[in-house]
């Protein structure tokens, strides 16, 4: 069973085995981390993101040991299933966290996620239904647009946690509020929320 964990990517030292499209997608997610790519052939775009590229064909377990000796995270994305499993076994033996792509038994996975400044929302079905994760991500994207409005509302209402909890519970179920957010009418959404607060929660 997987658990969600946030990792500061700037402190990672990553080795990616594989130089194709999958490796490229992973390295884009990891932009800002120290990433070393190992493969006998490399997609040209990968060169823009990798801190180091090693053009090498893996032959022995010792090669793997040497290549991951300075890493705390390994991504296994070659097109050779046997080699992938060999790299996985070395990572297991050395206690290094790894992502074995397209494998439901991978120690770590990359969930679908949304980011907006300080708000990060991730979605995963543990490999059972990736399409559902994509659908949930699309729904959540509209809610992310509301973050700055909600923060502004929070700063302008009474600091009574019980009242706040009831108010936001009601507001988040209010279709009119979300309709204004979806239209990009954030000022009107703020005014609508404040009127709702005054009408229902403010003591006259």
Q: How does pLDDT run across 124-172, given as a tens digit for each residue? A: 887 778 788 888 888 887 778 788 899 999 999 988 889 999 999 999 9
CATH of domain 9-110: 3.40.50.720
Taking alpha carbons only, the member of 9, 7, 70 closest to residue 38 is 70
Least confident of 14-28, 55-69, 135-149: 135-149
Contact 75, 98 (CB under 8 A): yes
* Single pTM value for the model: 0.75
Contact 16, 26 (CB under 8 A): yes
Stretch 66-70: mean pLDDT, rounded?
96
Q: What is the pLDDT of residue 113?
A: 86
All structural domains of the chain with their residue ranges: 9-110, 145-200
């Amino acid at each position: 069973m997987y658990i969600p964990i946030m990792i500061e990517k700037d402190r990672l030292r990553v080795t990616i085995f594989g130089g194709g499209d999958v490796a490229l997608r992973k390295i884009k997610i990891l932009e800002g981390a120290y990433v070393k790519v190992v493969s006998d052939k490399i997609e040209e775009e990968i060169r823009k993101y990798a801190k180091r590229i090693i053009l090498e064909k893996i032959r022995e377990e010792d090669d793997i040991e040497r290549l991951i000796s300075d890493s705390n995270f390994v991504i296994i994305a070659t097109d050779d299933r046997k080699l992938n499993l060999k790299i996985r076994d070395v990572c297991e033996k050395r206690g290094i966290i790894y992502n074995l792509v397209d494998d439901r038994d991978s120690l770590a996975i990359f969930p679908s996620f949304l980011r907006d400044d300080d708000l990060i929302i991730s979605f995963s079905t543990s490999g059972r239904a990736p399409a559902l994760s994509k659908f949930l991500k699309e729904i959540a994207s509209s809610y992310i647009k509301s973050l700055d409005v909600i923060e502004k509302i929070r700063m302008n209402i009474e600091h009574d946690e019980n009242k706040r909890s009831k108010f936001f519970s009601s507001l988040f179920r209010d279709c009119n509020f979300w309709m204004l957010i979806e239209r990009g009418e954030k000022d009107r959404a703020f005014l609508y929320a404040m009127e709702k607060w005054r009408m229902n929660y403010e003591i006259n």
